[in-house]
Amino acid sequence: MDFSSEPGPKMGCVIRGYAPATSLSYHESGSHLFVASELDSTLRIVDCINGGAPTDRSPMLKLQRDGIRTVKATHHGHCVLFSPGMNDGVPKKNSVYYLSVHDNKILREFEGHSGVINGLSMSPVDDTFLSSSVDGTVRLWDCGRSGNSIAEMKLPENVEGSPLAVFDSTGLVFGISAAMTGGEGYHIHLYDARNYSAGPFSEMKTTRQDIESKIRISGSTPERAYALSKAEWTSMEFNKSGKQLLIGAMGGVALTLDGYEGTVIHTFQTEPGGSMSGSTASQSYPMAACFTTDDNSIICGNDDGTVSCYQADSGLLARKLRGHVDRVGAVAMNPKYMQFATACTNTAVWIY
């Protein structure tokens, strides 16, 4: 997508919500979008072909028992994976659920983590998926098997905090990141999905100093650059070619990394504003960001309700989209069509 050309993307439809969206996930067909809202424990299914605004085209499920925090589409058009929500800062349960949205029925529960699950990644080629947790573990599962994990990945030594795990676009490789002790950066290990028991085939490091240097180049003060360089990573994504990684982090910052060396290529910071104090919001929430499917652009949500569209090669801002009323906390790219979704309380589906 070239966001610098006119006329640019337009809102195809807006789906009203009643609580901020915490997670967006497109089905691989591109025909529908799943929208999770932790605050009111709802999962909405948006029709991306015919428009999602009418109620009959945008059914909403209530998941009251365990709530919902993160949703991930599976290969089945009517089944999703989701992690439970929180209750006063405590997870209602440390499981992953396999849900049939057709009848709002839990088909399988995957148990094994001892802490809240902070990430899910579905393999693009089979029914395996990865889960990462604040308990410091990453587990591999199979949707079609029992609720026991296939494997628990070994993390690098001397790490702390919550790891992240994600498959690449081929499903042949997955990456795991984990923070170094002392806040000195992050380890990133790449695994062969067919031979993960052999350990990582590539071990990279992204240092805090490298992050700080790139943030300072973007114009931040030394104090802010230092603070953001230590921000916790909250999301990780490969681009389609696998040559770059996109990291979302607390403090309202995102990074692109070289997929072979782990060095920082570009940094992006949220635009403050909206109904919340910019500084407070940026410190409290992670940056929502994703690659476009052609690898040419990066879409980032801002605290002021705008959406920034950057050129992936130069890191320059190509366009800013307006239309949300508050912080854009979730973004996702349609895998089949020239379409993407952004969400605050309401979810906007943009068409090009």
Using CB atoms within 10 Å of the CB of residue 213, give its burial: 0 to 12 exposed, 13 to 18 middle, 19+ buried. middle
In tens, the pLDDT along 265-322 reads 999 999 765 544 344 444 568 999 999 999 999 999 999 999 999 999 999 999 999 9
CB burial of 276-314 (b: ≥16 within 10 Å; e: otherwise) equals bebeebbeebbbbbbbbbebebbbbbbbbbbbbbbbbee
Distance (Å, rounded) from C-alpha 308 to C-alpha 305?
A: 10
Instruction: Please name which of 139, 135, 177 lies closest in space to residue 156, comparing C-alpha atoms.
Output: 177
In tens, the pLDDT along 71-118 reads 999 999 999 999 998 776 676 789 999 999 999 999 999 999 999 999
Distance (Å, rounded) from C-alpha 332 to C-alpha 47?
A: 15
Predicted structure pTM score:
0.93
CB burial of 254-272 (b: ≥16 within 10 Å; e: otherwise) equals bbbbebeebebbbbbbbbb
* Residue whose token pair is 């090669």: 313
Query: What is the average per-residue pLDDT within 250-268?
Result: 96
Distance (Å, rounded) from C-alpha 220 to C-alpha 226?
A: 9
Among 83-87, 199-203, 233-237, the range scoring the smallest mean pLDDT is 83-87
Write a three-state SS string for 238-272. ECCCCCEEEEEEECCEEEEEECCCCCEEEEEECCC
Distance (Å, rounded) from C-alpha 30 to C-alpha 50?
A: 12
